[in-house]
Amino acid sequence: MQKKKKRKGVGEDEACVTVSPSASVGDGRKPARRSAQTALAISKNCSFMCFCFSSGIMDTRQQSKIIYSWYGKPTNSDRKLRTLQYKGILIKSERSRKERCIQLGDFVLVEGENADQPFVAQLLDLYEDGAEQKHAVVQWFSHISEIPKNKQKLLKRRISSQEVFFDKVSGYDTDIAVETIIDSVLVIPLRLKDELPTRLKKEKIFCVKQSWDGKCFKALSPHTFSKLNEANRKEDGIPNSFNSFVPSDIISSAKKETKKAGLSATKTKNVEMEIESKHSASKSSLSKKRHSLRVANGIKNPTARKKLELNSPTRSPKSKLLEQEDIWALLDDDCDSQLLKPTAIKRKVKFTEVLSSPPKITCANDKLKSVFGTAEDQEVLSGTLRLSPYRKLEDSNEKVKSLNMEVDAIVLTGHKELGSQSPAVTPRSRRTCTQETSTRIAEQISLLNMLESKEEEDFLSSSDGSYSSSSEEEDSDVSCTPEKKTKPSRMFSTPKSSRKPSVHTPAKTPKKTPLPGTPRTPRNATPEIPRRSHAAQKPTSVLEEARLRLHVSAVPESLPCREEEFQDIYNFVESKLIDGTGGCMYISGVPGTGKTATVHEVIRCLQRATEDDDLPSFQFIEINGMKLTDPHQAYVQILELLTGQKVTATHAAVLLANLFCTPGPKRKTTVLVVDELDLLWTRKQNVMYNLFDWPTQKHSKLIILAIANTMDLPERIMMNRVSSRLGLTRMSFQPYTYKQLQQIISSRLNSVKAFEEDAIQLVSRKVAALSGDARRCLDICRRAAEICEFSSQKSADEIVRMTHITQAIDEMFSSPYIQAIRNASLHEQIFFKAILAEFRRVGVEEATVQQVYRQHIALCRMEGMQSPTVSDILAICARLGACRLLLLESSSKYLHMRVRLNISQDDVMYALKDD
Amino acid sequence: MELRGEGSGGVGRAGKARRGRSREAGGQAARALLGIEREGRARARRRRLTASPQIESSAMNKRKLKESSGTDGECISQVQKMLRERLCHHRAMGKLFGIDQQYKHLLELLKQTTVCGESNSALIIGPRGSGKTALLNRVLKDLREMKQVKENLLEVHLNGLLQTNDKVALKEITRQLHLENVVGDKVFGSFAENLAFLLEALRKGNRTSSCPVLFVLDEFDLFVHHKNQTLLYNLFDISQSAQTPVTVIGLTCRQDILELLEKRVKSRFSHRRIYLMNSFAFKQYIRIFKEQLSLPAEFPDKAFAQKWNSNIQLLTEDKTVQDILQNLFHYSKDLRSLNFLLMLAVSNVTVRHPLITASDLQEASKQYRMDSKANIVHGLSVLEICLIIAMKHLNDVYEGEPFNFQMVYNEFQKFIQRKAHCMYNFEKPVVMKAFEHLLQLELVKPIERPSAYPNCPTDVKQWAASSLSWL
């Protein structure tokens, strides 16, 4: 009766949490559900086949909604914090109506930033806060990919993809929203030297051997180890929770059964929660095993096996058995590794013990037993078991005996019973031939699984409990749906496989992977410039060396003259990193003052610090407004750098907002450098707004360093709401003074003696007076070195002197106009004179060609020259206009085209006078 | 023959057609006939003519002559071929005059890029026809001859007139670099993807191991007008950072190019400018003239070459030739105009007229510097001339104020009634027709009436008036 109560409690507590837009549920299910309640297991499956096909197609278009509700009544409540604690959560998919219960201590998968990489965690606490938000407190486990590359080396061993690490890193938020929980998984603690059984590889099971505290790896302490083990044991209790939905009439029968089952230990499933919790590990060992089998084998659930049989009627029972055997062969290691760490012999024992009944039978067995658990079922069981060969009975019995030494007496008797009843110990010798067909079978299974996963959902939508709890329990392993709501196209693969495509299911491999043999598509093109065929020459002389060091691209050992700015930025980012919060900083300064270089230096130092474990690790991203084709592309780039996804701008914006605004579990702090911020300006300024809004979000953990040229950019181009979000953490890079420039050059040259001291000073003074642009300074020095090298090819070991510098400076800064006018042809020069004369005459700095032409002819007469034709004059005009010595109107106006000078009259006069 | 004469009569200063034997009297007569034609139409006709069988027949005649004159004809055709190539094509083999300094600078720059992997950027600035492209082509040719350079340089050539925006330019760069998102001749992906791809590709490289890339941006000033100068920023940014070695060479004739660069772009540009200024005196000009016309020593027929060269030597000392050249030099110093003049002169060389004379040059110069408008006026009928004179008087009377047909007609009538004695009084429609013809020739232009669409926004008006020249 307690069950009933519990169920009511759940109903009361059920506060729906909508995860995704709901979709209508297919209507055709209800009658099917009814039939499911009444029909026998096998006939049920038959009738479902056809139904599920249609609904499966329908489902591809539907998005499912997942409802999270509390399991049971609040166990504890805190009045001050207004929180209510619970011991379990029910995850229910709206579409399939199936429910899973996850309890405290269970291991779960939590949505990560990347849909393909969920996090692993253990549930420690579940509570609802005052705002009726459901929260969970978790203990994280780190996957190897979450550990920084440089730290991975510390392990000094190969890490399988299934190994996780007990996470002791302090920075992570352990409080997550319940909605991010995807599914329950299994995490097995192992001793360091123990290997993960190879058979386990393809399953959704994790093992933990070591703990990771952000700095080093340690073996699991005995305490945590036992705790984890305990949690694993407790996990077996899960099935029980489902019984709470079993209608009372069935429960009553089941209850009767439990009393019987008290001895035979195979029927622990119907045992109540309370009883179950008291169960010793040994007592429930078999059920545990069976459960773990399913957890481990999620895909190959009983229905799948049944389907296999139904779909391939041509196969002989023998081949069926072979398949089963193979599957079981896969399974046996799983259960071994998880429950016992003993020797190989013991494993074998376990193997036979479980294997002793062919899987098909077990499934039926499981289901029926768990619901009805009556003696009739046992009969059915024994009846079917007769099909299986009777060869290794003695062998199995022997093994069972050896097992008995270890296992509880009750279990022993139960098994003995079972052993004698089910002699279906498939001969070992057959294994070899099985392996040959195994791949084919695996394929078949995977195909079937795809269909079944859907089928089951529909099938089990009738999960009022009337159907077997065991299949429900399996369902809970398979049917986590968050993937489906976002990616309906993946409907055809089971959710598990879509997250972790396993090797043995070719049908499930993502469509994206190109078929072998297809021509290379530009999709997977790698951006690369061909390599050079000859090695680059090493600098041979001092001057060449100096030139190389002075190149702007050369990364200096240190960044002189920006120590203060460096410190400020470093402190800012460091403090935010340590606090685990977000923030913005605006950095301004004219071009070439070392803004980007300083920021990069800061990041380098911070990264070094994280390597030395002084700081929590962070993710560094950089975007540059100038390198975007459109401000909205910023989203795309950020998202791609963060998660590697490639989506459209609008979608990226949504995903990023989601990422930064919702409490992301276990996310590292992100440091985002936005260079050339002013180019992200749009009319609505939504890109800037979003960028500066995210760091203010509570969970964002986003630090933004925005770089631009103008100091008053926030005031000038940003709306109030944007600039207020940017905040007042500003920094301005002043142009370098000549001393600083001098220091920069000297530090770059370091020990290379290629420049005279005075020469360096001259450059720095000149540049400091002009712009304070370090790039200019370095360019001049480089050019001077080149000139020096050029002029002194005979005498080696020349040093760059003042003359070289002056020459380089002249080259770079001299105005080209005067030189251009001086080198113009005579008529062009006369034309300039004519323009000046005309300007003087009219008093306006603009004239038509006609007017100038008149002046020109007059001038020509004075000089005794042949006067040019109109065509000549227009051609001259066009030439000077192309050089932009003159500014012209469009030439369609012919003689009425207006002419202006592009340089000052004084310059023109100066240029012409010297002749 | 007559048609041919017409064609050459209508040719403006662009007349490239071989005028070999068309300088007969027919030309003169035809000019009067055809002068009425608009220049453009005349040009079109010329084009048609060159394709017509008339040319073929003349060519056949020439061939006959050639056969008669034997080796001489052979020599002439070779000379013509050689000189035409030298004068017309911007071939790299063309000699460079007076820009040794610039040549060395550019060669050194590109060598550093290819040999040492040093990134650079430079602009070659000079007025049109000053030999920017010739310089670059020459340097590239010499570079490619060096073995170490040949396999070590990827070249990307862009032209501001072709790559009118960054999107097109990016696709072109990607195509020319044969990056992996190019299949066949097509570049896949959107603008943003292409940019990201290219930047990623260039970022991956480093100084010592990646193949240097040379970007040549012809008409560099047009790239400046691309949105945000994204392409320039990125190219210059790469050239200033430790990525794939890159050298960006821009070619432009605008002296104010640096002022057009955005400050960030400008800061990233290395400020290396190579100026081509035509900074030679008349003496050098004469020498260039001589060298352009001289036959090389490896010319097969030594005797003819010697004869030809000595003739050229004589020409350079000739007073009229010097005058012609001086005139041209005063008018324009660029070598392209000199080449043009020489081209016209060389075209006169035939078997019967095997050596260039001063008169050839004079003729060519006349042709080259022909005043197109005056040329049109030469071909007007008497009535049309009368109308133009009437208009001129009106213009003087009303001080440049616009006038209409009736005013012109009245003016013309006044002249007919008072002063004309031998002038036939045309009907008004005939005068109207003549007036319209003047309009067509654009000797008269209708004024733009601002009131035609009074509320036209200014920017629309500007847009309507704009052409490529607004750039």
Residue carrying the six token digits 């911020």:
A677
In terms of phi and psi (left: phi > 0; alpha: psi -120 to 50; beta: otherwise), the region of A727 is left
Lowest mean pLDDT segment, chosen from B61-75, B179-193, B399-413: B61-75
Residue A458 pLDDT more than 80?
no
Q: Which residues of B touch A819 (CB under 8 A)?
A: 275, 277
Give the Cα separation of B18 and A188 in Å (integer).
Answer: 94
Q: Which residues of A touch B332 (CB under 8 A)?
A: 825, 827-828, 875-876, 879
CATH number at residue B433: 1.10.10
The pLDDT tens digits for A641-660 are 988 888 899 999 999 888 88
Residue B139 pLDDT more than 70?
yes
Give the Cα separation of A501 and A498 in Å (integer).
Answer: 6
Cβ distance of A553 and B243 shorter than 8 Å? yes
Q: Do residues A711 and A588 touch, judged by C-beta distance below 8 A?
A: yes
Q: Do residues A337 and A200 touch, judged by C-beta distance below 8 A?
A: yes
Residue A296, classified by CB atoms within 10 Å of its CB into exposed (0-12), middle (13-18) or buried (19+), is: buried
* Residue B296 distance to chain A (closest CA, Å): 30
Q: Provide mean pLDDT across the span B254-271.
A: 91
> Does any domain span residue B6?
no
Residue B77 pLDDT more than 50?
yes
Give the Cα separation of A155 and A149 in Å (integer).
Answer: 11
Residue A470 pLDDT more than 50?
no
The letter for the amino acid at B141 is: K
Residue A380 pLDDT more than 60?
no
Name the domain boundary from B322, B348, B370.
Answer: B370
Residue carrying the six token digits 């041509």:
A314
At A137 the pLDDT is: 80
Q: Do residues A873 and A856 touch, judged by C-beta distance below 8 A?
A: yes
Closest chain B residue by Cα to residue A817: B255
Q: How confident is the model at residue A859 (pLDDT cuts 50, 70, 90)?
A: very high
Q: How confident is the model at residue A556 (pLDDT cuts 50, 70, 90)?
A: confident
Q: How confident is the model at residue B91 (pLDDT cuts 50, 70, 90)?
A: low
Q: Which residues of A touch B210 (CB under 8 A)?
A: 529-532
Give the Cα separation of B407 and B411 in Å (integer).
Answer: 6
Short-list B75, B61, B46, CA closest to B305: B75
Q: How confident is the model at residue B178 (pLDDT cuts 50, 70, 90)?
A: confident
At A200 the pLDDT is: 60
Say if strands A83-86 and A119-128 run parallel, antiparallel, or are unpaired. Answer: antiparallel
Q: Is B273 on the interface with A (CB under 8 A)?
A: yes
Residue A247 pLDDT more than 50?
no
Q: Which residues of B touch A775 (CB under 8 A)?
A: 240, 267-268
Judgement on whether residues B221 and B308 belong to the same structural domain of the protein: no
Judgement on whether residues B235 and B135 belong to the same structural domain of the protein: yes
Residue of higher predicted confidence among B72 and B248 = B248
Residues in chain B: 471
At A790 the pLDDT is: 82
Q: Provide mean pLDDT across the span B451-468.
A: 73
Residue of higher predicted confidence among B443 and A43 = B443
Nearest to A819 among B177, B188, B275 (CB): B275
Residue of higher predicted confidence among A871 and A223 = A871
Give the Cα separation of A781 and B216 in Å (integer).
Answer: 25
> Does any domain span residue B211?
yes
Judgement on whether residues B286 and B391 belong to the same structural domain of the protein: no
Judgement on whether residues B389 and B426 belong to the same structural domain of the protein: yes
Angle at A890 between CA A884 and CA A891, to 5 degrees: 95
The pLDDT tens digits for A80-94 are 767 777 777 777 776
Q: Is B156 on the interface with A (CB under 8 A)?
A: no
Q: Provide mean pLDDT across the span A481-498.
A: 37
At A768 the pLDDT is: 92
Q: Provide mean pLDDT across the span B372-388.
A: 89
Q: How confident is the model at residue A338 (pLDDT cuts 50, 70, 90)?
A: very low
Judgement on whether residues B256 and B392 belong to the same structural domain of the protein: no
Cβ distance of A827 and B237 shorter than 8 Å? no
At B90 the pLDDT is: 57
Residue B74 structure tokens: 């052979």
CATH number at residue B117: 3.40.50.300
Angle at B362 between CA B361 and CA B367, to 5 degrees: 95
Q: Do residues A358 and A388 touch, judged by C-beta distance below 8 A?
A: yes
* Residue B20 distance to chain A (closest CA, Å): 26
Judgement on whether residues B158 and B265 belong to the same structural domain of the protein: yes
Name the domain boundary from B321, B351, B370.
Answer: B370
> Does any domain span residue B140?
yes
Closest chain A residue by Cα to residue B230: A626
Name the domain boundary from B213, B248, B275.
Answer: B275
Q: Do residues B333 and B277 touch, judged by C-beta distance below 8 A?
A: no
Closest chain A residue by Cα to residue B446: A893
Q: Do residues A606 and A570 touch, judged by C-beta distance below 8 A?
A: yes
Q: Which residues of B touch A530 (CB under 8 A)?
A: 154, 210-211
For testing contact with chain A, the best of B330, B334, B367, B468 (most A CBs within 10 A): B330
Cβ distance of A885 and B370 shorter than 8 Å? no
Angle between helices B230-239 and B191-204 (to 10 degrees): 10
> Does any domain span residue B216?
yes
> Does any domain span residue B184?
yes
Q: Which residues of A touch B116 (CB under 8 A)?
A: 536-537, 539, 544, 548
Q: Kindly provide the b/e burial profile for residues A118-156, where b requires at least 16 CB atoms within 10 angstroms of the residue's own CB.
A: bbbbbbebbbbeeeeebbbbbbbbbbbebbeeebeeebe
Percent of chain B with pLDDT over 90: 23
At A230 the pLDDT is: 74
The pLDDT tens digits for A291-334 are 444 444 443 343 333 333 344 444 444 444 444 444 454 444 44
Judgement on whether residues B139 and B259 belong to the same structural domain of the protein: yes
At A490 the pLDDT is: 36
Q: Provide mean pLDDT across the span A722-744.
A: 89
Cβ distance of A866 and B200 shorter than 8 Å? no
The pLDDT tens digits for B99-117 are 888 999 999 899 888 888 8
Residue A237, classified by CB atoms within 10 Å of its CB into exposed (0-12), middle (13-18) or buried (19+), is: buried
Count of the separate structural domains present in chain B: 3
Short-list A476, A255, A475, CA closest to A372: A255
| Number of Cα atoms under 13 Å in the Cβ half of residue A461 | 26
Alpha helices in B152-262 (DSSP H): 166-177, 191-204, 220-223, 230-239, 257-260
Cβ distance of B207 and A536 shorter than 8 Å? yes
The pLDDT tens digits for A568-578 are 999 999 998 88
Angle between helices A302-311 and A317-339 (to 10 degrees): 170
What's the N-to-C CA distance of chain A in angstroms? 116
Q: How confident is the model at residue A616 (pLDDT cuts 50, 70, 90)?
A: confident
Range of the domain at B460: 374-467
Q: How confident is the model at residue B122 (pLDDT cuts 50, 70, 90)?
A: very high
Residue A377 pLDDT more than 90?
no
Residue A628 pLDDT more than 80?
yes
Give the Cα separation of A624 and B265 in Å (integer).
Answer: 14
Q: Do residues A467 and A37 touch, judged by C-beta distance below 8 A?
A: yes
Give the Cα separation of B280 and B278 in Å (integer).
Answer: 6
Give the Cα separation of B169 and B161 in Å (integer).
Answer: 11
Short-list A670, A646, A674, CA closest to A659: A670
> Does any domain span residue B5?
no
Cβ distance of A823 and B278 shorter than 8 Å? yes
Cβ distance of A816 and B255 shorter than 8 Å? yes
Residue A802 pLDDT more than 50?
yes
Cβ distance of A626 and B264 shorter than 8 Å? yes
Alpha-carbon separation of residue B459 from A868, B455, B456, B463 (angstroms)? 37, 12, 8, 6
Give the Cα separation of B277 and B275 in Å (integer).
Answer: 6
The pLDDT tens digits for B384-418 are 999 999 999 998 888 878 888 999 999 888 888 88
Q: How confident is the model at residue A46 (pLDDT cuts 50, 70, 90)?
A: very low
Average pLDDT, chain A: 67
Q: What is the DSSP string of A702-752?
A: EEEEEEES-TTHHHHHS-HHHHHHH-S-EEEEPPPPHHHHHHHHHHHHTT-
Alpha-carbon separation of residue A8 from A1, A72, B351 (angstroms)? 11, 9, 117
Residue A841 pLDDT more than 90?
yes
Q: Is B256 on the interface with A (CB under 8 A)?
A: yes
Cβ distance of A871 and B264 shorter than 8 Å? no
At A126 the pLDDT is: 80
Judgement on whether residues B254 and B126 belong to the same structural domain of the protein: yes
Say if strands B186-187 and B182-183 run parallel, antiparallel, or are unpaired. Answer: antiparallel
Q: How confident is the model at residue B23 (pLDDT cuts 50, 70, 90)?
A: very low
Q: Which residues of B touch A827 (CB under 8 A)?
A: 330-332
Give the Cα separation of A150 and A609 in Å (integer).
Answer: 12
Element (H, E) at A615: none
For testing contact with chain A, the best of B113, B148, B248, B256 (most A CBs within 10 A): B256
Percent of chain A with pLDDT over 70: 56
At B8 the pLDDT is: 36
- Tell me the three state secondary structure of residue B244: coil
Q: Is B244 on the interface with A (CB under 8 A)?
A: yes
Residue B42 pLDDT more than 70?
no
* Residue B60 distance to chain A (closest CA, Å): 37
Lowest mean pLDDT segment, chosen from A38-52, A214-228, A665-679: A38-52
Nearest to B331 among A783, A825, A892 (CB): A825
Q: Which residues of B touch A883 (CB under 8 A)?
A: 127, 253-255
* Residue B347 distance to chain A (closest CA, Å): 23
Judgement on whether residues B248 and B284 belong to the same structural domain of the protein: no
Q: How many CB atoms lie within 10 A of CB A911?
A: 22
Say if strands A181-189 and A107-110 run parallel, antiparallel, or are unpaired. Answer: antiparallel
Q: How confident is the model at residue B449 (pLDDT cuts 50, 70, 90)?
A: low
Judgement on whether residues B155 and B291 belong to the same structural domain of the protein: no
Residue of higher predicted confidence among A231 and B361 = B361
Residue A600 structure tokens: 């990069």
Residue A414 pLDDT more than 50?
no
Q: Is B236 on the interface with A (CB under 8 A)?
A: no
Q: Which residues of A touch B148 (CB under 8 A)?
A: 534
Cβ distance of A871 and B330 shorter than 8 Å? no
Highest-pLDDT range among A344-358, A508-522, B4-18, B296-310? B296-310
Alpha-carbon separation of residue A876 from A871, B12, B331 (angstroms)? 9, 18, 8
> Does any domain span residue B7?
no
Q: Provide mean pLDDT across the span A426-434.
A: 42
Residue A76 pLDDT more than 50?
yes
- Tell me the three state secondary structure of residue A899: strand
Give the Cα separation of A89 and A81 in Å (integer).
Answer: 20
Q: Provide mean pLDDT across the span A739-756.
A: 87
Q: Provide mean pLDDT across the span B29-36.
A: 39
Cβ distance of A528 and B166 shorter than 8 Å? no
Q: Is B443 on the interface with A (CB under 8 A)?
A: no
Give the Cα separation of B115 and A636 in Å (integer).
Answer: 38
* Residue A123 distance to chain B (closest CA, Å): 42
What's the N-to-C CA distance of chain B in angstroms? 45
Judgement on whether residues B55 and B165 belong to the same structural domain of the protein: no
> Does any domain span residue B137?
yes
Cβ distance of A536 and B209 shorter than 8 Å? yes
Please state whether the predicted TM-score (pTM) of the whole model is above 0.90.
no
Q: Do residues A277 and A167 touch, judged by C-beta distance below 8 A?
A: no
At A513 the pLDDT is: 36
Percent of chain B with pLDDT over 70: 81
Give the Cα separation of A36 and A350 in Å (integer).
Answer: 34
Closest chain B residue by Cα to residue A539: B116
Judgement on whether residues B228 and B126 belong to the same structural domain of the protein: yes
- Tell me the three state secondary structure of residue A620: strand
